[in-house]
A and B are shown apart, each in its own frame.
Chain A
Amino acid sequence: MSGTHTQLIDGLNALTAGLVLLSAFGMVTTRQVQGVIRFLVVQSLFVAASAFLIGFDRRSTDLVELGVIMIASKVITIPWVLRRMLPGEVYERREINQAVNIPSSLLLALLLAIAAEFLVGPLVATTSDPVIHVNLPIGMAGLLIGGYTLIARREAIPQLIGLLAMENGAFFAGISIAPDLPLIAELAIAIDVILIAVVVGLLTRNITETIGTSEAAAMSELREEPHSWR
Chain B
Amino acid sequence: MALMVAVFLPLLAALLCWLKPLRSIAWGITVFCLAVSFAATVVTAGQVLGRGRVVAIPGWIEVDGLGCLVLLLVTFVCTLAAIYAGGYMRHGSSSKARLWWFYSNYNLLVFALAVVPAIKRTNLVWVGVELVTLFATLLVAYESTAGALEASWKMAILTIMGAPISLFGFLVLYWAFRSAGGGLAETWAGLYAMSSTMPPNLLKFSFLLVFVGFGAKAGLAPMHTWLPDAHSQAPTPVCAVLSGVKTTVPLYVILRFLSIILASPEARLGEWMVVIGLFSVGIAAFLLLQVREYKRMFAFSTVEHMGIILVAAGFATHEAAYGAMAQMLNHAITKSLCFYAAGMVLLALGTRQISEVRGLFRTSPFAGSALLLCSLAIAGAPPFPIFLSEFSILSAGLRAGHPAAVTILAIFIVIAFVAILLQVNGMLFGKPQPSAPAAAIPLSCRTAVVLAAIPVVILGVYIPGPVHSLLTLAAQQLGGR
- Chain A contact residues, CB within 8 Å of chain B: 120, 122-123, 126-127, 139-140, 143, 146-147, 150, 156, 159, 163, 166-167, 169-170, 173-174, 177-178, 180-182, 184-185, 188-189, 191-192, 195-196, 199-200, 202-203, 206-207, 210-211, 216, 219-222, 224-227
Contact = CB atoms under 8 A, between A and B. Distances in A.
A222 B201 contact: no
A150 B287 CA distance: 27
B271 interface: no
Interface of B: 121, 123-124, 126-127, 130-131, 134, 137-138, 141, 144-147, 149-154, 156-157, 160-161, 163-165, 167-168, 171-172, 174-175, 178-179, 199, 201-202, 205, 228-229, 232-233, 287, 289-292, 296, 354-355
Contact of B163 (A178, A196, A206): A196
B161 A166 contact: yes
Given A185-B124, A227-B291, A195 B131 contact: yes
Given A126-B179, A163-B163, A170-B167, 18 more contacts: A123-B172, A140-B168, A147-B165, A163-B160, A167-B164, A177-B171, A178-B178, A181-B174, A189-B123, A192-B127, A195-B130, A203-B137, A203-B141, A216-B157, A220-B150, A221-B146, A222-B233, A224-B290
A220 B147 CA distance: 9
B33 to A, nearest CB: 23
Given A170-B171, A224-B290, A227-B292, A189 B127 contact: yes
A150 B201 CA distance: 28
A178 B145 contact: no
11 contacts: A147-B165, A156-B153, A174-B171, A188-B123, A188-B127, A189-B167, A192-B163, A207-B153, A219-B154, A221-B150, A224-B287
Contacts of A192: 127, 130-131, 134, 163
A146 B289 CA distance: 37
Contacts of A189: 123, 126-127, 167
A206 B164 contact: no
A4 to B, nearest CB: 28
B123 A123 contact: no
B164 A203 contact: no
Given A170-B167, A174-B171, A222-B147, A203 B156 contact: yes
Contact of B145 (A188, A210, A216, A227): A210
Given A139-B168, A181-B174, A189-B126, A167 B163 contact: yes
Given A181-B123, A185-B123, A206-B141, A196 B149 contact: no
A220 B154 CA distance: 10
Contacts of A224: 228, 287, 290-291, 296
Contact of B174 (A177, A188, A227): A177
Contacts of A150: 157, 161
